[in-house]
Chain A
């Protein structure tokens, strides 16, 4: 086979230039398709990234739970024996993780785990005068907690500090109770325990429910309110790759013998929504690619028919079937490449427009959407390849043309 890229490229370019209107239309068609795919891909990527960031911004990737307390039958049953039994699930007390320091260390040492913190949390009442609200009290070690969920980033007033006698509370809770920075309020357990805290800082956790229910205090204070001296109720961890969380959780669970939940389990609905979104995007992508490829193919098929005579002449002058095939494959590739470059530029323009003109109620962009370099490079590569694939059938029919017949026309 004689390979002469010079010949194929020269003739392909000239054929495309000669077919002005047709070439222009198909290149614009490819550009439009590529722009839609790139725009939607970037938008969905941005949206998903944003959703995941928001979801994971206030929770850990992994949560180690204490073992559940269950009522077990005290008598083993003989084979074939039938027992009628009434079991009452016992009321769950604040459960603690035994040896949590060892758990913390083991988890921190697991591959892929970035940060670990232990917290003592439970339900309490926050009381100020007549007003009382049910809240979730979280006793934290601020420094290690900060590495998993940043409270400093959500601080709207005051300082992020949970020294003894100090608390950080959600903004909505503060206004519900009618208290402000520096004011004191009482946190009371279901039993007799109660303690007074001064508000060191107000937090906006980005979610109304969290803002209404969150109280952060030092771990020691929470332990005494929850009556679990020295104990913790959960160990939290973040991992490097959020989507590897499930695997890490399963491994850790086997090793620790404790229940380890990943965010993917607790947010299964969100995850399946993200998946559905991903599948729809892939569908849109595939169908657009298909339409674009059919467009390129149909233009080239017409071009082969139009150029029968020229193909015959070229063959008579010594162009091989392989060379004629190349001429049309190169045309497909060029249309794909040029169209996709224009398309990526158009998508970048659309995205710029989106982030400049579409803003949330706060006047800030809804979320960050950018056309990543990987996408901007991948799209033209894929489109060029798609152009070549689309050109295969027309190129074959061009190569099969009988030169004697083609010339006679």
Chain B
């Protein structure tokens, strides 16, 4: 397979965290309105990378992120997660891999309103183990402290500002030590200052914990501060060095 701009080698010669080969996605397959939204995506993300995924609305960013996040099946192609193909896995196994490998941060800081900030952070662990022990609790508190929210541990999401909620979501995504966090417009709903804070936090976590990030963003300012930018145009990855739009400048 030829090395494309989108598959630059990682920091070490390791198995890529994720590797997509000729991934296609068609909605409404078998109906007269079938539309292919991803036309053969080749993409790799190495361990510890900090990657921005940009592109105009409707270019297929969210679909691609959902496929990488094992939330949506692809129509054709290959997807290796930690070197393992996922095409043939059943829902339970996909769910297990999703829980073990991936953390999510969404645009509308999807926290669980019925649980406190700390409980939200500990939720992935509760799902995996069925209980929370003292060590989990301490680790959760340490994570909240790290995102600057130790004081808000017992608050409900509705009592927190948008930026704070997004920081809780980041802590949650990192709580079970997963190697990759997928962030869908994590700053899209925040004012500039909060957006900068949240972005800085993700960068710091990437440095401190070695967690890889794949961040979908509209904000060229933020994209420019990532290790690598992948641009999606009309369901295809634009070749490196040919960035269009605001990034071209």
Residues of A near any B CB (own CB < 8 A): 1-7, 10, 14-15, 17-18, 309-310, 312-323, 402-404, 407-408
Contact = CB atoms under 8 A, between A and B. Distances in A.
Which of A7, A14, A17 neighbours the largest number of chain B CB atoms within 10 Å of its CB?
Answer: A7
Nearest to B106: A407
Contacts of B66: 404
B139 interface: no
Chain B interface mostly:
helix
A320 B130 contact: no
Most-contacted residue by chain B among A2, A17, A318 (CB, 10 A): A318
B91 interface: yes
B124 interface: yes
Q: Which of B69, B99, B104, B114 has the most A CB atoms < 10 Å from its CB?
A: B114
B124 A318 contact: yes
Given A18-B114, A320-B92, 16 more contacts: A10-B126, A17-B114, A18-B113, A314-B112, A316-B98, A317-B99, A318-B99, A318-B100, A318-B124, A319-B127, A321-B91, A321-B92, A323-B127, A404-B71, A404-B72, A407-B71
A310 B112 contact: yes
Interface in B102-129: 104, 106, 110-115, 123-124, 126-129
23 contacts: A1-B92, A2-B92, A3-B130, A4-B127, A4-B128, A4-B131, A6-B130, A7-B126, A7-B127, A14-B115, A15-B114, A18-B114, A313-B111, A314-B123, A314-B127, A317-B124, A318-B98, A318-B124, A321-B91, A321-B92, A321-B95, A322-B92, A408-B62
Contact of B110 (A2, A14, A309): A309
A310 B115 CA distance: 11
Nearest first, the 3 A-B pairs at minimum CB distance are: A318-B99, A4-B130, A6-B130
Interface of B: 62, 66, 69, 71-72, 91-92, 95-96, 98-100, 104, 106, 110-115, 123-124, 126-131, 172
A113 B102 CA distance: 74
Contacts, number: 80
B69 A4 contact: no
B110 A407 contact: yes
A331 to B, nearest CB: 12
Contacts of B95: 315, 318-321
Contacts of A313: 104, 110-112
Given A4-B130, A14-B115, A407-B71, A320 B110 contact: no
A6 B131 contact: yes
Given A316-B104, A320-B96, A321-B91, A4 B114 contact: no
Contacts of B115: 14
Contacts of B62: 408
Contacts of B110: 309, 312-313, 407
B208 to A, nearest CB: 22
